[in-house]
Amino acid sequence: MIKSLSTIAIATTTILTSSIVSAGDITVITYDEVLDGVDNKTHSLSINVTLSGDVIAGLEQGTDSILTGKREETQNVFEGAGSQSRYNFVYRDNTLGEKWFVGAENMQGLVSGTWYGANGDKGDFTANFSCPSQFPSFCSTLNMTADPIFSGTGLNYSRAINESFLQDTDDPNKGLYVQSDDGGLPFPMGFNIEFTKSFTLQSFKLGTYNNGQGTRATNFTFEVWENNDWVNKGSFDFNSLPSQQWIRQEFTLSAPVTTSKIRIAATGTQDFNNGGRVLMWGLSFH
């Protein structure tokens, strides 16, 4: 028998008032206000969520908003469950009111589905309650912020994160991609990534490009956030790259680091055309 949300709310109250909450991970829920099967990620919520059995309990940091609900056990014949979990939960906010969410988990660990409000409002949503990988992935990414030089007019560009973010792929059309084209070279210039929890990292891949005017990144630093400051954990060089070639190279830190926030910043280039250019792409962890 499927438990009612009122029953779940009673169980959740106990969880929320216990010390279990402090061990929760940050769940990011994105949603839009047009129900068409595609989450346009117009809005987002960041909630400290604990999963205890089939109960979901969460508190939004800095507010009185709560999330309560149920995660269905997979392969449960009594509930008609399949290989992917189904979720139903409600978000209660003093300003936004209540939103009811119903969805299912996919192979990447993301939950997607439909939400409904109290006044007929509705839309699509995506949530990252669980991420099966031991390394950072799209579903465990809280945000990615590139330096301003990678945005603006012309060919200055920073790709928005999507489901291919941090995938191990040699396709430059997928995953992380930042390039500067006409802003000069204010080294170091890079991007920050914040994860929903801490990971232990050591090996990773990163790429660059030579468009015929020189390799657009020759070296870079890898930094982590420690004691309210960026700390450099390694400096790396790309191999020499022939004209009109992409490269994606593996690098290894001298020692593992455990962190929830990283920064990678280019410190050199061979492409000095139009004031200087930098391009980095294809980040993944291993």
Give the DSSP per-residue string, the chain. -PPPHHHHHHHHHHHHTSGGGGGPEEEEEEE-S--SS-----EEEEEEEEEETTEEEEEETTSS-EEEEEEPPTT-TTTT--SS-EEEEEEEETTTEEEEEEEEE-TTS-EEEEEEETTS-EEEEEE-S----SS--GGGEEEEEE-GGGSSSTT-EEPPP-TTTT-----TTSS-EEEESSS---SSEEEEEEEEEEEEEEEEEEEEEE-SS-BS-SEEEEEEEETTEEEEEEEEEPPP--TTEEEEEEEEEEEEEEEEEEEEEEEE-S--GGG--EEEEEEEE-
- List, for residues 134-166, the tens digit of each pLDDT value: 899 988 898 999 999 999 888 999 999 988 999
Specify whether 123 is located in the same domain as 161. Answer: no
Same domain, 113 and 144: no
- What is the pLDDT, as a whole number, of residue 8? 41
pTM: 0.74
163 with 270, same domain?
Answer: yes
- The pLDDT, as a whole number, for residue 214 is 94
pLDDT band at residue 80 under the 50/70/90 scheme: low
Instruction: Say if residue 115 is in the same domain as residue 197.
Output: no
Q: Which of 20, 80, 85 is nearest to 51 (CA)?
A: 20
Confidence of residue 34 (pLDDT cuts 50, 70, 90): very high
For residues 113 and 145, state if they share a domain: no
77 or 186: which leads in pLDDT: 186
Mean pLDDT for the stretch of residues 234-247: 95
107 falls within a domain: yes
Same domain for 232 and 173? yes
One domain for residues 146 and 278: yes
Residue 267 has which token pair?
A: 């410190």
Task: CATH number of the domain at 253, please.
Answer: 2.60.120.260
- What is the rounded distance in angstroms from the CA atom of residue 96 to the CA atom of residue 38? 22
How many structural domains are present in the chain? 2
Q: What pLDDT is attached to residue 3?
A: 41
Q: What is the pLDDT of residue 91?
A: 96
Mean pLDDT of 269-286: 95
Give the pLDDT band (50/70/90) at residue 277: very high
The pLDDT assigned to 5 comes to 42
Mean pLDDT confidence for 168-177: 96
Its domain, for residue 16, covers 5-127
228 domain residue, yes or no: yes
User: Is residue 133 included in any domain, yes or no?
Assistant: no
Domain membership of residue 208 (yes or no) is: yes
Q: Does residue 180 register a pLDDT over 90?
A: yes
On the question of pLDDT at 58 being above 80, the answer is yes
- 205 versus 108: the higher-pLDDT residue is 205
pLDDT band at 24 (very low <50, low <70, confident <90, very high): low
157 and 198, same domain (yes or no): yes
Which whole number is the average pLDDT over 259-286? 96
- Of 127, 151, 185, which one is at a domain's C-terminal end? 127
Higher local confidence (pLDDT), 281 or 154: 281
Q: Is the pLDDT of residue 265 over 80?
A: yes
Structural domain ending residue among the three candidates 127, 160, 185: 127
- My answer on whether 212 and 161 are in the same domain is yes
| 179 Rama class: left (phi>0) / alpha (psi -120 to 50) / beta | beta
In a shared domain, residues 116 and 193? no
| Shared domain check, 157 and 264 | yes
Which segments within 5-158 are labelled E, that is strand?
A: 25-31, 43-52, 55-60, 66-71, 86-93, 97-105, 111-117, 122-127, 141-146, 157-158
Residues 276 and 186 sit within 8 Å (Cβ to Cβ):
no
With contact defined as beta carbons under 8 Å apart, do 47 and 26 qualify? yes
